[in-house]
Amino acid sequence: MLVTDLSKEYLSAHTEFSKSLRTWFVAYGIGAPVLLLTNKEIANTLKESGNARAIAAIFLVGVCLQVMLATANKTSMWGIYYGETNPLFKNTRRYKSAWWFSEAYWIDLVIDVTTMGAFGAATFWAFSVILV
């Protein structure tokens, strides 16, 4: 793999955007339901609609997807690191799986888009109930 100064800059930018997006997802996925539920009038409207649990579950699904993705990425990076410090580990299926996952960016993209969809749907549904 060719590593240049420019590729290091791009990786650094990618890392910062990834951290920002993950932080935003978790904050929104937890913060939005808290805001909805701490306002008694809004909370009662959601409860009375019969949709409160489903809306909360959709927010929770988005947060869980992000936590699972972060855990998978963390585990993958550990496996690659361990392979660099213990060369015999590079011959294992665990190392090859970690490497494959680190290269499969499409998994991150699918989970991020799914999270956006879940949060968007839950937010739209909540506002539809509140503003009726």
Long-range contacts of 67-72 (CB under 8 A, 24+ apart): 67/26, 68/111, 69/107, 69/108, 69/111, 69/112, 70/22, 72/101, 72/107
Instruction: Let me know if residue 8 belongs to a domain.
Output: no
Instruction: Let me know if residue 17 belongs to a domain.
Output: no
Q: Is the pLDDT of residue 3 over 90?
A: no
Instruction: Let me know if residue 15 belongs to a domain.
Output: no
Q: Which domain holds residue 78?
A: 24-130
Instruction: Let me know if residue 7 belongs to a domain.
Output: no
Instruction: Let me know if residue 106 belongs to a domain.
Output: yes
Which tens digits make up the pLDDT trace of 5-58? 888 898 899 899 999 999 999 999 999 999 998 999 999 999 999 999 999 999
The confidence band for 1, taking pLDDT boundaries of 50, 70 and 90, is: low
Instruction: Let me know if residue 87 belongs to a domain.
Output: yes
Average pLDDT, the chain: 94
- Structure confidence at residue 127 (pLDDT): 95
Give CA separation, 81 vs 7, 56, 90, in Å: 20, 37, 10
User: Average pLDDT in the 88-95 region?
Assistant: 97
Which tens digits make up the pLDDT trace of 109-121? 999 999 999 999 9
Domain total of the chain: 1
- Structure confidence at residue 4 (pLDDT): 84
The confidence band for 108, taking pLDDT boundaries of 50, 70 and 90, is: very high
User: Average pLDDT in the 90-112 region?
Assistant: 97
From CA 102, how far away is CA 34, in angstroms rounded? Answer: 34
Instruction: Let me know if residue 76 belongs to a domain.
Output: yes
Instruction: Let me know if residue 4 belongs to a domain.
Output: no
